Each structure stands twice: as structure tokens, then as C-alpha cells.
Amino acid sequence: MTSQTTLLADDASCPASRSLWQLGWQRLRRDRIGLTALWVVLAFVLLALAGWLGLAGSHWRDEVAKPNMPPALFKDYGPATVELTAADIDAAQQHNTSAADASAATGMSAEDDPLAADMAAAQTQAAKAAPLAVTPANDSLLILGSDSRGRDVLQKVIQGTATSLLVGLSGALLAILIGTLLGALSGYFGRRVDDLLMWFYSVFTSVPDMLLLLAFSAVMSRGIDTVIMVMALTSWTGTYRLMRAEFMKHKGREYVQAADAIGASHRSRMFRHILPNVTHLLLVQFSILTVALIKYEAILSFLGFGVGVSQTSWGAMLAEAPAELLQGYWWQMAAVTLFMSLLVTAFSMLTDSLRDALDPKVK
């Protein structure tokens, strides 16, 4: 490939031919929607990178505000919260003490109560400990509000982005690796190898993805690495099918025969000669898979089979949504929906643009 390009470039009458990647990039740059989508996706990846490195969203566990505080912009749109004044508390306490007196009149006296001394001691201890509880910065406004434990939703959603993208990207990458390797072996060697791997493929495709995911997560410990592995093990089949067909098509082509003639080994023919000619398909496949896996991760984490409790993800945040929504706290769900839809839309549009840009038939 390269030697041919230089030869052509030497010839002054013929302009240097560009590779498919250069052509694709050129087409993508002309495609305004595709380019915007690319920037949005890159912004998300940067955000996730900041999340992994602990630059952003690392304080998502801190309880920095009052519980369930609405977002700054929608301060007045949350459910009406009643600010308790000292007078209210006094009234409530008086009511409590009168109720306690009433029960004391029918119940036993302090002398009879075996727990009275312990309770008194406990109360003095509690009184000592009470002022130590840090009062959170009550008046600070959070852009996306806070959740039921007073954690910043913005921090959580950034951390969730990091987790979901990590699962999506690395799951898709692993799935592509497995699918490409098996597809290459199957398509290139054919015969026995193909039969064996096709059998393997048919086993995995005869069980629906979701069921396979659940079966895997039933036997494995929960955690982010398990989720990634399970997703890779269940979603390599599409790539396998694609690569098998491509390798079958390419192995008879003249350039591969030429490689054979100059003594290239099987491995070199498969991965140095054929693979670069099909990588553009893999890129498209990769972005399709990433979107699918991000959606799967949300569902798995929602059901409680996803990331562990010490991590948060979009699915784990959505799992808190039904209970919050019942009380009128809508902002955590809104934040996750906003972030997730933005990423998924951008990724899908990028996929479409990539497919068009990298299509060698389009001139």
C-alpha cells in the first residue's frame, strides 16, 4: 500500500492518493452535524477522563447541602419545603413531652423502669455528641440541586458519566477485540476452524443478550470489572459475523495472494494486510456497541446487577429516581436524562456520519 502511494506521488502528473482515513476525515469535516457530534462526544470523554483522574466529581459522596435541594435555576419549582423555626420545634417538643407525660401516667414510674438510668446516660451522651454534627453549608446553591442525602447532583452525574463511559468504551473495545480475533480466524481459515467458531457463535446468539447478561451476573461478583467483562462476553457476536464475512471476502483478493507470494505468514496476512482494510468497519461497529452498552449498563445498574454500591453510574442514579419523584424531587432524574440523551444522540449521529464518511464507495 505505502510503496504504491510513494510511487504515485513521485509521478508529477498524478496527485498523491489519500488513504481512506484521510478521505474520511475530510468528508467528516465537511459534515456539520457529524463534526458537532464529534465535539460533543469528545467533550464527554474529557469529562469522563477528568472523572477517572479525580479532577471532577470526586467529591460526589460528600454531603454538601440540605437534602433534596432544587437546582439553582429552579429554586422555586421544587416541592414546597417548610422551613422549621425554633417556635415550631418548641411546640413539637412540648407536644411530645405532654404525650410522654400521658404515657408515663399510665405506664410505669421512673423507679420501676429498669432502663431509666441507661436512657438518662444515653441522653447526656447524645447531647454531648449532637453539636459536633457539622451543619452543611445551607445557603449555597447547587446548579443541579442535591439528592436525598444532600449530595451534589452535578458531582454525582459527572462521576456517573465517568463510570458509564468507562463501561461503554472498554466493554465495546473488548467485544471488538474478541469479535475481530474470532471473526478473522473463522473467515480466514474457514473449514474446521470456521465450523467450530460458528458453533460457538450460534450458542451465544441463541440466548437473548439480556438473559445472558443476567445469567453471567448471577454467578459473578458485582463490580465494574465484572460488568465490563460480562458485556464484552455477550456482545462480541455482531462484530464476529461482520469480520468473518469481510475476511472471507478479502482472503481471495489479489493483494492477499501477492502477500502470500512474497512469503507473508498467515498472521501477517491476516493482521497486517487484511485487517487495515476493514478497520473502518470496526470503528463504526465500535460506536454502535458503545451506545448499546451504555444503555445496557443503565438497565443493569438500575436492577442492582451493575456497578457496586461504592460507585455511582447513570443507572444507579436512576434507581433512586422513582422514590424521589414520588415526593416531587425530579432534578436527579432530569440531570441523568439530560446527560445521557445528549451523549447517546451525539454518539448515534457520529455513528451515522462515520458510516457515510468511511464508506469507500462514496467519492
Partner 1 sequence: MLAYILRRLWQMVPTLFGVMLLLFILFNWVGGDPSYILAGKSFSAETLANIRHQLGLDKSLPEQFLIFVQQVLTLDFGTSWSTQQPVADILGSRIGPSLTLALPMLLVSLLLSVIIAAIVAYVRGSLTDRIVTLICTLAMSVSALVYIIAGQYWLAHKLGWFPILGWSDSLATNLWLYVPLPLLLGLVVSLAPDIRFYRSCFVEEMNHDYVRTARAKGLSEQVIMLKHVMRNALIPVVTSLMMSLPYLFLGALLLERFFGIPGMGNEVLNAVDRSDFPVIKAITIYVALATMLFNLLADIVYKLIDPRVQLK
Closest contact distance (angstroms) between CB of 146 and partner 1 is 19
Angle at which helix 331-357 crosses helix 314-326, to 10 degrees, equals 140
Residue 321 CA to residue 144 CA, distance in Å, equals 14
Q: List Cβ<8 Å contacts ≥24 apart for 51-58.
A: 51/158, 51/159, 51/161, 51/162, 51/163, 52/162, 52/166, 56/155, 56/158, 57/154, 57/155, 57/156, 57/157, 57/158, 57/159, 57/161, 57/162, 58/155, 58/159
What is the separation, in whole angstroms, between the first and last Cα of the chain?
19
Work out how close the CB of 336 gets to partner 1 at its nearest, in angstroms, rounded to a whole number: 8
Q: Tell me how far apart the alpha carbons of residues 158 and 165 are, in angstroms, rounded to a whole number.
A: 11
Shorter beta-carbon distance to partner 1: residue 34 or 278: 34
The residue among 8 and 362 lying less far from partner 1, judged by its C-beta, is: 362
Rule CB under 8 A: is residue 298 a binding residue for partner 1?
Answer: yes
Q: Which of 207, 185, 165 is nearest to 57 (CA)?
A: 165
Is the alpha carbon torsion for 57, 63, 68, 70 positive or negative? negative
> Is residue 325 at the binding interface for partner 1, with CB under 8 A as the rule?
yes
**Of 13 and 199, which CB lies nearer to partner 1 in the complex structure?**
199
Contact 156, 61 (CB under 8 A): no
| Identity of the residue, 107 or 208, whose beta carbon is nearer to partner 1 in the bound complex | 208
Work out how close the CB of 295 gets to partner 1 at its nearest, in angstroms, rounded to a whole number. 6
SS3 305: coil
> How far apart are CB 354 and partner 1 at their closest, in Å?
16
Q: Contacting partner 1 (CB under 8 A), which of 9, 322, 360, 362?
A: 322
Identified binder of partner 1 from the candidate list 63, 337, 355, 359, rule CB under 8 A: 337
Question: Among 42, 65, 47, 86, which Cα is nearest to 331's?
Answer: 65
Interactions with partner 1, residue window 201-260 (CB under 8 A)? 202-208, 210-212, 214-220
Residue 94 makes contact with partner 1 by CB under 8 A: no
Q: Binding to partner 1 by residue 341, rule CB under 8 A?
A: yes
Size of the site for partner 1 (CB under 8 A): 43
Q: Distances from the Cα of 119 to the Cαs of 20, 60, 89, 122, 124, in angstroms?
A: 79, 37, 22, 5, 9
The DSSP string of 122-137 is: HHHHHHHHGGGSPPP-
The reply on whether position 302 binds partner 1 by CB under 8 A is: yes
Q: Which is nearer to partner 1, 6 or 206 (CB)?
A: 206
Find the shortest distance in angstroms from Cβ 29 to partner 1. 22
Cell of 94: 412540648
Separation of alpha carbons 227 and 306, rounded Å: 6
Left if phi > 0, otherwise alpha if psi is -120 to 50, otherwise beta: which for 191? left
Least Cβ distance, residue 149 to partner 1 (angstroms): 20
The answer to the question of residue 315 lying near partner 1 (CB under 8 A) is yes
**Binding residue for partner 1 (CB under 8 A) from 348, 355, 356, 359?**
348
- When the beta carbons of 188 and 296 are compared against partner 1, the nearer one is 296
The sign of the dihedral angle between the CA atoms of 241, 356, 253, 277 is negative
Instruction: Tell me the closest approach of the beta carbon of residue 351 to partner 1, in angstroms.
Output: 12
Stretch binding partner 1 (CB under 8 A), from 87-95, 170-178, 244-252, 310-318: 310-318
Q: Of the two residues 46 and 325, which places its CB atom closer to partner 1 in the complex? A: 325
Q: How far is the CB of 17 from partner 1 (least distance, A)?
A: 31
155 near partner 1, rule: CB under 8 A: no
| Residue choice 303, 308, 311, 355 for contact with partner 1 (CB under 8 A) | 303
Q: Catalog residues that contact partner 1 under the rule CB under 8 A.
A: 199-200, 202-208, 210-212, 214-220, 295, 298-299, 302-305, 314-315, 318, 321-322, 325-326, 333, 336-337, 340-342, 344-345, 348-349
